[in-house]
Structure 1
């Protein structure tokens, strides 16, 4: 029996050869002299294949072919395929490891030649990020703005980040305060914190940033969300790390159990909303900087209207301005004398 079978043979068995086998099963046997299986006959190809496969066996005493239980033939056909699949899988893994080693060598030597590399297309960016995080040896710094992150992205990131943490990599992540309201984000944070990650949130908007071992920084490009810049220049990376550290020092530890922290965060969001109104930003721009949807931001504005007892945004802006003047005058006058 030949052991080299492919998809074409399987299709033959599913169709013509399979139908011939079922006929032989129903009839009990197939005469060797049957014209259907003679050279040039309509079932000749199927017959030859069934004999080669072992599903038809010749009974020389009666010169007939008898059907054979497919279960006894299956292992002889499928087992070699499984063996070849295992060999191909092992070989593909070896190829992947070889390319990974070459990629690591490339990324570690590229800075001297290419201080800044442009990455285009989300698949290319994601592959680069996965490889860069996989290469991390000591530290990962990440700043993730825009509030809650999509569940699909968090599902993709969790295993990658846990592997890095398991290697002893220190990971610090900065979100906006609004990310605390996302169930998926909270679940992600709780899980990575169990592995040693540190997470804080900040009231202000900031740009996305990833820094690997203080030797590589990845920032968004100006041409859209499908463009990123990989920065290897030591001076630029150090500058970006300094910016991250300044934001990190002002951030609040991510925890749902600290009521005092939550009150501080609510106050920060309140102040940020007031600031956006005073500066005259559009609702879309303000919502983005606060890290919430436009509808949620509109709810914040409505709450401020209730707080100041006004009905229109113009009245609200005036009321906020008057309050700031009163607060400034009170601060300049100082506490009343005793």
Structure 2
């Protein structure tokens, strides 16, 4: 209880005992406190250094306790002075941080867009934005599944935001449902109040914070090159509309993507759209986040259901039957 004043628990115990029994020596104090002789003598050394015990003129040089009104009050005044000095240092440091932050912000381009070169710059900026998010964070995630290292890095910041009442909504690809790491992250996010949905394909990677800042990749084919931070209201409004469109078409984790009236799942419908556009199995696999072999199996099933003997005929029949 008095550790703030520099007393160890043993020293405090001995001091309290000597206040109750000023005439007790080491032997009596051993019975009073249950402490060993060596511990009591070490405690007296501490108390003497803190001026809480002094030699007794009455008892032949033995130690007497100094009253708490004098001894402890003196120590408290010293602790308060140290605390005041520490607080002054904290305020000075706070001012330095504000100056550095202002200088850093000053290096950014105007309110329209800022170029973030490389992954490190992007991650650093996302950390800054996440710590200052006030009410909402939206994200589209077309890339790889949530690996454990990426999840472990993002989880503390997401947890802080969720505890502040920030609404987190994320859209991923349907294929992520087969990835254990992504499933683990989705369960964690939902348990802590966030939301995640999936769609067959995600058009672009992006993060929108408080509908005031958006991060999109410089090159969608290579996110390692960096990103653009956008502040323009018109652009952000358009990106929010794109997110809401994907969100409304998505399926919540914990639910299976529903088939339409023709028996097509959203992924099968997306595959038919790609086939009609002339995409190869490899291109469709990349967009859907699944293997080319899986695409081939799905395509074979669709051709059989459409009574088609070729991919082209499958596209024609799908259009005739209103599947597209």
Question: Using the alignment, how far apart are the partners of 2:294 and 2:283 within structure 1?
Answer: 15
Question: Using the alignment, how far apart are the partners of 1:304 and 1:110 within structure 2?
Answer: 52
Aligned match of 1:308: 303
Aligned match of 2:196: 199
1:297 and 2:286 are equivalent in the alignment: no
User: Of the candidates 110, 114, 130, which is equivalent to residue 113 of structure 1?
Assistant: 110
CA gap of 1:93–1:271, structure 2 versus 1, over 3 A, is farther
Deviates more, 1:318-327 or 1:184-193: 318-327
Aligned match of 1:320: 314
Unaligned runs of 5+ in 1: 1-89, 332-338
SS of aligned partner of 1:141: strand
Question: Using the alignment, how far apart are the partners of 1:96 and 1:272 within structure 2?
Answer: 55
Question: Using the alignment, how far apart are the partners of 1:199 and 1:158 within structure 2?
Answer: 15
CA gap of 1:99–1:241, structure 2 versus 1, over 3 A, is farther
Aligned match of 2:18: none
CA gap of 1:201–1:135, structure 2 versus 1, over 3 A, is same
SS of aligned partner of 1:184: helix
Deviation at 1:306, TM superposition (A): 5.0
Number of paired residues?
Answer: 232
Check the 8 A contact 1:141/1:173 in 2, yes or no.
yes
Aligned match of 2:179: 182
Aligned match of 1:270: 268
After superposition, the C-alpha distances for 1:107-135 in whole angstroms (9 at most, x for unaligned) are: 88889934200000111111111111111
Aligned match of 1:243: 242
Give TM-score, length-normalised by structure 2: 0.61
Question: Using the alignment, how far apart are the partners of 2:101 and 2:135 within structure 1?
Answer: 15
CA gap of 1:307–1:234, structure 2 versus 1, over 3 A, is closer
After superposition, the C-alpha distances for 1:132-155 in whole angstroms (9 at most, x for unaligned) are: 111101110111113523332122
1:169 and 2:169 are equivalent in the alignment: no
SS of aligned partner of 1:207: coil
CA gap of 1:318–1:237, structure 2 versus 1, over 3 A, is closer
Deviation at 1:94, TM superposition (A): 8.5
SS of aligned partner of 1:199: strand
Question: Using the alignment, how far apart are the partners of 2:316 and 2:134 within structure 1?
Answer: 54
Deviation at 1:302, TM superposition (A): 2.7
Deviation at 1:205, TM superposition (A): 2.9
After superposition, the C-alpha distances for 1:4-54 in whole angstroms (9 at most, x for unaligned) are: xxxxxxxxxxxxxxxxxxxxxxxxxxxxxxxxxxxxxxxxxxxxxxxxxxx
After superposition, the C-alpha distances for 1:291-335 in whole angstroms (9 at most, x for unaligned) are: 22xxx232221343255359xxx943144135325515x99xxxx
Aligned match of 1:252: 251
Aligned match of 1:155: 152
Unaligned runs of 5+ in 2: 1-86
CA gap of 1:190–1:208, structure 2 versus 1, over 3 A, is same
For residues 1-338 of structure 1, what are the structure 2 equivalents within 5 Å?
101-102=98-99, 113-146=110-143, 148-222=145-219, 224-225=222-223, 226-255=225-254, 258-259=255-256, 261=257, 267-292=265-290, 296-305=291-300, 308-309=303-304, 315-324=309-318, 326-328=320-322
After superposition, the C-alpha distances for 1:80-112 in whole angstroms (9 at most, x for unaligned) are: xxxxxxxxxx9x999986666457657888899
Question: Using the alignment, how far apart are the partners of 1:99 and 1:206 within structure 2?
Answer: 42
Question: Using the alignment, how far apart are the partners of 1:104 and 1:169 within structure 2?
Answer: 23
CA gap of 1:280–1:318, structure 2 versus 1, over 3 A, is closer
SS of aligned partner of 2:279: coil
Question: Using the alignment, how far apart are the partners of 2:161 and 2:212 within structure 1?
Answer: 16
Check the 8 A contact 1:147/1:178 in 2, yes or no.
no
Deviation at 1:243, TM superposition (A): 1.4
